[in-house]
A and B are shown apart, each in its own frame.
Chain A
Amino acid sequence: MSAGADRPAVRPFSPGSTQPALPVPGAGPAGEHIERVEILVGHLLRYGVALAAVIMAAGLVLLLMRSGTAPHPSVPVPTSISEVLGGLLRLDPTALIDLGLVVLILTPVLRVAASLVAFAIERDRTYTLITLIVLIVLVAGFALGAAE
């Protein structure tokens, strides 16, 4: 049997259950529920990625203008926040690229945080909890890496 082609959707709740109906996009209140989360997360991703891309592209163009004929990829790497900030003030191309990279790296984490807020607003306890666990483990991972 092909998945749901010629039968009604699987109803994932028993009579008397308070669970919302199957969240098919555009299929009533439950569909809108997950859709709002999706729209929020989608917007966040789009703007985050666009911002990161613009900053990185600007930095890359600057870098090529300054040292395009230099051997590849012998470029100093700023590694601390203060170094990046200092470089930005001097319009250092690598610092600009690094800022774009930081924005890019932060986007997925912000996405998880946004999903957490969205699930909480929707009062979806199970998925608020699940998202919270993911966020805590992620932060723990960052901390572990920083402590290294």
Chain B
Amino acid sequence: MTAEGGNRRDTAGRAQCASRAGTGQEVSLTTFTLLNFLVSTVAGFVGALLGLGGGVFLVPALTLLFGVSIGEAVGASAVSVIATSSGAAVAYLRDHITNIRIGMLLEVGTTTGALTGALIAGLLNPRYLYFFFGVLLLYNAYLTFRARRQELPEGVVPDRLALRLRLQGAYRDRALDRTVEYTATRTLPGLLVMYASGMVAGLLGIGAGAFKVLAMDQIMRLPMKVSTATSNFMIGVTAAASAAIYFARGQVNPAIAAPVALGVLLGASLGTRVMNRMRSRTLRVLFAPVLGWIAVQMLWKGWVMP
């Protein structure tokens, strides 16, 4: 690695890049920092509510609005995922909404998946992966929307693995004002979907928080709040590995990543205050269009890919 010069930024190139992206005029670092902080606060808020990293909103905002290069936007987004996760995890752990055992078990799937993805990158054509997962997410957006009236999963019978691994729990639901007890089911299919989601994350460089929520909500049939809180808890672990890689490559620009991380931390801690007071139905109604948005982004990427 070059100690000097290799990763120094080219001011003129960046200014050009900014005006080419349609911002019209040069924005000062202070203005950029404030705007970036505001956008990141929103991203952290939504991310904490829905169990997603902020990347879905941040990468388009940074590249399209601020003219940041895609490489640095991805680096900042990896940092934002960790900030969302850690910022939200504190509150959700305190309220017992996060299920540590489920999170840790599924983390086995995502981390091995991510490692596989990194190893086989180049063997698979990402274009078809984008299409495949884009369509899959669209379908799931529809399923989530269809289930929007469902507050809590009903009649869940735990499978043998869920019993053996004690994938049960209880949390105090403030919107319903009662303690909700729950159990997981279809553990192995859930774990396999997690493996696939980790692989996609490794291959396509996406956070895959949406897949984690879907696997827990729709396959393992956990309550929506447990799914988003546990997903929040998990996304930081996988993102830490990729963030470290981006950091070593010089893709994490401190001037971009600092306002992102600080804004996301603020947004996430605001989000956690709201989430337990919301109905799961409301969360689903919010989650469905976000899934649709991620799906469209993926289809678009697959489409424009050379």
Chain B residues positioned under 8 Å from A48 (CB to CB): 86
Instruction: Determine if B240 and A4 form an interchain contact, defined as CB atoms under 8 angstroms apart.
Output: no
Chain A residues positioned under 8 Å from B90 (CB to CB): 42, 45-46, 49
Instruction: Determine if B223 and A105 form an interchain contact, defined as CB atoms under 8 angstroms apart.
Output: no
Q: How far is the CB of B4 from chain A (nearest CB, A)?
A: 8
Q: How far is the CB of B254 from chain A (nearest CB, A)?
A: 4
- With contacts A23-B168, A56-B262 taken as known, whether A12 is within 8 angstroms of B154 at the C-beta atoms is no
Q: In terms of DSSP, what is the predominant structure of the interface of chain B?
A: helix
* Interface size counted on chain A using CB atoms at 8 A: 80
Of all chain B residues, the one with the shortest Cβ separation from A25 is: B96
Q: Does B205 contact A (CB under 8 A)?
A: no
Binds A, one of B41-49, B177-185, B289-297: B177-185
Of all chain A residues, the one with the shortest Cβ separation from B157 is: A10
> Which residues 98-130 in A have Cβ within 8 Å of B in the complex?
98, 100-102, 104-109, 111-112, 115, 126-127, 130
- With contacts A59-B254, A71-B26, A73-B68 taken as known, whether A138 is within 8 angstroms of B111 at the C-beta atoms is yes
Chain B residues positioned under 8 Å from A76 (CB to CB): 7-9
Instruction: Determine if A69 and B107 form an interchain contact, defined as CB atoms under 8 angstroms apart.
Output: no
Chain B residues positioned under 8 Å from A97 (CB to CB): 254-255, 257-258
Q: Does B304 contact A (CB under 8 A)?
A: no
> Which residues 59-84 in A have Cβ within 8 Å of B in the complex?
59-60, 63-64, 67-77, 79-80, 82-83
Max chain B Cβ within 10 angstroms of own Cβ: one of A48, A73, A111, A145: A73
Chain A residues positioned under 8 Å from B10 (CB to CB): 74
Q: Mark B83-115, 1 if CB is under 8 A from A, else 0.
A: 101110110011010101100110110011011
On chain B, which size bracket covers the interface?
Answer: 35 or more
Instruction: Determine if A101 and B9 form an interchain contact, defined as CB atoms under 8 angstroms apart.
Output: no
Query: Which of A46, A104, A131, A144 lies in contact with B261, CB distance below 8 A?
Result: A104
Instruction: Determine if B236 and A107 form an interchain contact, defined as CB atoms under 8 angstroms apart.
Output: yes
Q: Does B274 contact A (CB under 8 A)?
A: no
Query: Which of B86, B114, B168 lies in contact with A49, CB distance below 8 A?
Result: B86
Q: How far is the CB of B169 from chain A (nearest CB, A)?
A: 7
Chain B residues positioned under 8 Å from A72 (CB to CB): 14, 18, 27-29, 31-33, 66, 255
Q: Does A137 contact B (CB under 8 A)?
A: yes
Query: Which of B82, B98, B152, B242 lies in contact with A2, CB distance below 8 A?
Result: B152
CA distance A77 to B237 in the complex (A): 24
CA distance A95 to B82 in the complex (A): 19
Query: Which of B85, B108, B154, B163 lies in contact with A108, CB distance below 8 A?
Result: B85
Instruction: Determine if B29 and A70 form an interchain contact, defined as CB atoms under 8 angstroms apart.
Output: yes
> Which residues 1-48 in A have Cβ within 8 Å of B in the complex?
1-5, 9-10, 12-13, 19-20, 22-25, 27, 34-35, 37-38, 41-42, 45-46, 48
- With contacts A2-B152, A42-B94, A97-B254 taken as known, whether A69 is within 8 angstroms of B104 at the C-beta atoms is no
CA distance A4 to B158 in the complex (A): 13
Q: Enumerate 10 A-B pairs (CB-CB under 8 Å) in ascending A order.
A: A10-B183, A12-B166, A73-B72, A80-B1, A94-B254, A111-B89, A131-B104, A134-B237, A137-B111, A145-B244
Interface residues of A (CB under 8 A from B): 1-5, 9-10, 12-13, 19-20, 22-25, 27, 34-35, 37-38, 41-42, 45-46, 48-49, 52-53, 56-57, 59-60, 63-64, 67-77, 79-80, 82-83, 93-94, 97-98, 100-102, 104-109, 111-112, 115, 126-127, 130-131, 133-134, 137-138, 140-142, 144-146, 148
